[in-house]
Amino acid sequence: MTTPGFRTNEMDAVVECCDFVSFNSLSQWQRLHPNVAGQISCGLRINPQLSFVRDKKYDPCRKHSKLGAPLDQVVSLLKGRDGTLNGVRGIHFHTNCESESFIPLLKTVKHIDRHLSKLLKQVEWVNLGGGYLFEDGCDLDPLFEAVALLKDKYNVEVFIEPGTAIVGDAGTLVASVLDIFESDGKTIAVLDTTVNHLPEVLEFQYRPDVLNDTPGGKFEYILAGCTCLAGDVFGEYRFEEPLSVGSRVVFLGCGAYSLVKAHMFNGVNLPTIYIQRGNGEVEVIRRFGYEDYLSRMGGNISAADRTRNNSSGVTGPQESTVPYSAAMQPVPPAE
């Protein structure tokens, strides 16, 4: 586990839940390491000060980064021999984001090897971080070389965090069209979801993939969310078949950074969560309602109101979440 936000009063819980912790800064290491020393394996997150990501919003190694102890500061401490780094059992770094190549990872490991060889001889493990997509057909040789360098030269355990590479395609967001109209020569399709269910669309101008979106499709739509936010727009998409009120629109690759960041702005409900079993059966895992919205504001809902809400069948906009086989079939609009 690593976070810039470790709190002193939470460290006992961290010890109970984790085997490995990487402190995010030298200050954090000095303040909090004594509280957990000997109970879990403690490491230090390093900022290698080696950037590969063009967009600074995604770059963990950007100038003035909050993520990791700057490499030059760590090197200086190693030269000074003041004992600050005594007890460091691991090194963690993370230099990339959604990379299709492992060459930057190999360059980072060689960079760390050149500058922190003394520290690497002291530690027991190295966490290579994430930011790599592991796409089909990608060249894994640079990854193998990076791991071999660390294990053969320093005899350390090596971790990697695939993250999105594992769970990204494990989830979809299925919406229904609520309204279609023309605006300044383009067709707007308003959906019963919002970019607030996929916040990175707004935060980082991310354009999610949509099932049946075709570059040369005959019918073009601006897919928009249903809040009052003018920028609640997913982007422009083309389909071979026209959309209509009730059509399904399926956003792909929503297994990561979606519900964990989603919110209820404008009172728009969170998506109902379903799981599709291996045999094709679909099971409801969680429905959200007004009680969830109210509780976020510190409010309560009476037992009578709870019963009335449950009996009404009003559970939120994403009741249309269904398997792919039925995803694009039209449904009647909500009453």
Give tens-digit pLDDT for 276-286: 898 989 999 99
Confidence of residue 316 (pLDDT cuts 50, 70, 90): very low
Question: For the ranges 37-46, 219-228, 288-297, which has the lowest average pLDDT?
Answer: 288-297
- Beta pairing class for 41-47 and 20-23: parallel
* Confidence tier at 312 by pLDDT (50, 70, 90): very low
Task: Say how far apart CA 147 and CA 20 lie, in whole Å.
Answer: 19
Mean of the per-residue pLDDT values of the chain: 87
Residue-level pLDDT at 115: 95
The predicted pLDDT at position 331 comes to 40
Q: What is the pLDDT of residues 98-129, one digit of tens each?
A: 788 899 999 999 999 999 999 999 999 999 99
Q: Which one is predicted more confidently, 275 or 301?
A: 275
125-175 pLDDT per residue, tens: 999 998 887 877 789 999 999 999 999 999 999 999 887 778 888 889 999
Which amino acid belongs to residue 139? D
Q: Are 261 and 200 in contact (CB under 8 A)?
A: yes
Q: Are 35 and 58 in contact (CB under 8 A)?
A: no
Q: What is the pLDDT of residue 317?
A: 44
> Over 90: is that where the pLDDT of 239 sits?
yes
Domains of the chain with bracketed CATH: 2-162 (3.20.20.10), 168-321 (2.40.37.10)
d(CA 15, CA 21): 9
User: pLDDT tens digit string along 55-85?
Assistant: 888 899 999 999 999 999 999 999 887 888 9
User: Could you tell me the pLDDT band of residue 318, with boundaries at 50, 70 and 90?
Assistant: very low
**Considering the entire predicted model, what is its pTM?**
0.79
Query: Per residue, what are the HEC states of 160-191?
Result: CCCCHHHHHHHCCEEEEEEEEEEECCEEEEEE
